[in-house]
């Protein structure tokens, strides 16, 4: 992307870009659409922060704040609030001032009325409100008046602003279709949809895989108290305050559900916390981590799901370097990373992250889920679970749901464990295939062959686990092992597999 090098070229280019945007906004509004107005909020935020030195944030990213207070942007430090609009009417000004006056939190704030147009009309410029100390002549801002302020900005800031506007609008900012696509792509998807199966989970700062876990928990229950992920992130887990957390569990145990639920909770909660959700598998295609400019870093919770889905050791190392850079650049930034247990077999990575462990369901949880499932003969289902010694599976939601589906299909749970495991393995591969973006070959076929090969060796040698030397003797490649480790049924520890 070409960047202007002179001050005058940069100012001229900024004026040209904003003029094109103003023209497009006029066309868009005459057609009765206002998506462009909403999308421009973050552009205005960037412009005003750069030119006036504000610390504005877009509180419309929070559902409880969305257009509720007659404002779109707010600077909690400098006590400035901004309404972003293309409407230059007395009614719009009256409604905005009325909303501001009714909001006690804005009592001592200065209102700025930003018109996403090249100029303000006389209605806006002559508007006065003594009670809120609003003067349209000085408090109404538009593209033209903002560009005039650039004359007092230093050279480097103007050039940077030129680059940032061009980055936001796109290289072909004069192309209406491309601009529409950019606006559509900027809309925030819903990561946790109503109706998805979610079971409330508890999370511990201590691993239940440790030999002394049960005894220590019985002796000192306060120390081993469990919390929800939201309570850890919001500082309500006493004794475990942190700004970085690593949520660890086996595959299909529910880490992604917890991450997405956290995002939805923070999105809807009435606070100044803004969540960002990032699927780590996307790092395979664009190995960069960034946070948005329209929120202050101390208000952001960066949720990164699936560290184990980064495809290579080289990319994982780069990812960890990106995390370190974020921590250094934004020390107040809160980060939550989820990962499968077998990819964090030691404590040599992310050492400054508080380890968190997703607890299994309790027996009462299991009974409640079975009751809500609507299956017939629920007592029979529980009895068959006991007869087949499957309690180790039902405490994991993914496998409990799988067994419930199996029961619905066959009106019973198969008597032989092989049939049960084949059914659950198939579900596991299906779920993981959906998560492995860009796979050309169905990994189910590859994974089944690998697991069959390993199971056969374990059967003949009567071993319950294989050492690293055993795996080497089987001539299984590192890439094949990585494929196995990506699934729930295969685990790694310091001794082997």
Question: Please, what is the average pLDDT of the chain?
Answer: 79
- Tell whether the model's pLDDT for residue 403 goes beyond 70: yes
**Exposed e or buried b per residue across 132-166, where buried means at least 16 C-beta atoms within 10 angstroms of its C-beta:** bebebeebbbbbbebbeebeebeeeebbebbbbbb
- Tell whether the model's pLDDT for residue 185 goes beyond 70: no
25 or 191: which carries more pLDDT confidence?
Answer: 25
| Rounded Cα gap, residues 59 and 271, in angstroms | 10
Name the phi and psi angles at 294, rounded to 5.
Answer: -90, 10
pLDDT of residue 246: 95
pLDDT of residue 27: 73
Considering only 74-83, 156-165, 216-225, 277-286, which range has the smallest mean pLDDT?
216-225
pLDDT band at 194 (very low <50, low <70, confident <90, very high): very low
Evaluate the CA torsion angle 294, 297, 303, 309 in order and state its sign: positive
Angle at 98 between CA 93 and CA 99, to 5 degrees: 100
Considering only 127-141, 384-398, 424-438, which range has the smallest mean pLDDT?
424-438
- Give the mean model confidence (pLDDT) for residues 215-225: 68
Q: Label the pairing between strands 274-279 and 300-305.
A: parallel
Nearest C-alpha neighbor of 142 from the set 122, 118, 161: 118
| Rounded Cα gap, residues 179 and 24, in angstroms | 9
- Close Cβ partners of 249 (under 8 Å, ≥ 6 residues apart): 255, 338, 340, 341, 357, 358
Evaluate the CA torsion angle 484, 485, 489, 495 in order and state its sign: positive
What does pTM read for this prediction? 0.70
- Tell whether the model's pLDDT for residue 372 goes beyond 50: yes
pLDDT of residue 1: 45
pLDDT of residue 216: 65
Name the phi and psi angles at 425, rounded to 5.
Answer: -60, -45
pLDDT of residue 455: 63
- Give the mean model confidence (pLDDT) for residues 456-462: 57
For the chain, helix (H) and strand (E) counts, in that order, are 20, 13
pLDDT of residue 483: 58
Q: Label the pairing between strands 57-58 and 73-75.
A: antiparallel
- Tell whether the model's pLDDT for residue 277 goes beyond 80: yes
């Amino acid at each position: 992307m070409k960047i202007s090098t002179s001050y005058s070229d940069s100012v001229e280019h900024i004026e040209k870009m904003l003029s094109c945007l103003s023209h497009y906004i006029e066309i868009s509004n005459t057609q009765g659409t206002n998506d462009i107005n909403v999308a421009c909020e973050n552009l205005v935020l960037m412009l005003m922060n750069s030119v006036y030195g504000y610390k504005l944030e877009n509180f419309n990213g929070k559902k409880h704040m969305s257009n509720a207070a007659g404002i779109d942007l707010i600077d909690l430090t400098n006590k400035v609030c901004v309404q972003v609009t293309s409407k230059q009417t007395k009614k719009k000004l009256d409604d905005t001032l009325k909303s501001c006056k009714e909001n006690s939190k804005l009592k001592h704030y200065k209102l700025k009325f930003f018109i996403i147009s090249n100029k303000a009309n006389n209605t806006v410029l002559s508007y006065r409100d003594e009670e809120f100390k609003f003067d349209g002549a000085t408090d109404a801002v538009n593209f033209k008046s903002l560009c005039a302020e650039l004359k007092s900005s230093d050279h480097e800031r103007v050039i940077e602003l030129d680059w940032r506007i061009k980055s936001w609008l796109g290289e072909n900012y004069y192309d209406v279709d491309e601009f529409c696509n950019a606006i559509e792509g900027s809309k925030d998807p819903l990561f946790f949809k109503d109706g998805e199966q979610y079971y409330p989970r508890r999370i511990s700062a201590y691993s239940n895989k440790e030999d002394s876990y049960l005894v220590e928990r019985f002796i000192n229950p306060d120390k081993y108290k469990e919390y929800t992920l939201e309570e850890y992130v919001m500082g309500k887990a006493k004794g475990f305050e942190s700004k970085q957390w690593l949520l660890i569990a086996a595959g299909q145990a529910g880490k992604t559900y917890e991450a997405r639920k956290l995002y939805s909770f923070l999105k809807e909660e009435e606070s100044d916390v803004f969540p960002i959700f990032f699927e780590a598998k996307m790092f395979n295609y664009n190995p960069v981590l960034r946070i948005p400019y329209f929120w202050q870093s101390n208000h952001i919770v960066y949720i990164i799901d699936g560290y184990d889905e980064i495809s290579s050791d080289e990319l994982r190392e780069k990812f960890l370097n990106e995390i370190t850079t974020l921590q250094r650049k934004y020390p107040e930034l809160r980060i939550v990373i989820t990962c499968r247990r077998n990819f964090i077999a030691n404590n040599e990575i992310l050492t400054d992250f508080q380890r968190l462990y997703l607890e299994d369901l309790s027996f009462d949880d299991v009974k409640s889920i079975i009751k809500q499932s609507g299956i017939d003969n629920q007592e029979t289902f529980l009895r068959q679970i006991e007869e087949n010694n499957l309690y180790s599976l039902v405490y994991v939601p993914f496998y409990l749901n799988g067994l419930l589906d199996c029961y619905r299909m066959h009106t019973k749970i198969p008597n032989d464990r092989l049939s049960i495991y084949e059914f659950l393995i198939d579900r596991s591969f299906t779920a993981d295939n959906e998560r492995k973006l860009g796979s050309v070959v169905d990994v189910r076929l590859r994974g089944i062959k690998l697991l069959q090969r390993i199971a056969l060796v374990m059967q003949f040698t009567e071993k319950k686990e294989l050492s690293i030397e055993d795996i080497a003797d089987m001539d299984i490649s590192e890439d094949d092992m990585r494929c196995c480790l990506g699934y729930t049924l295969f685990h790694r520890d310091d001794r082997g597999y």
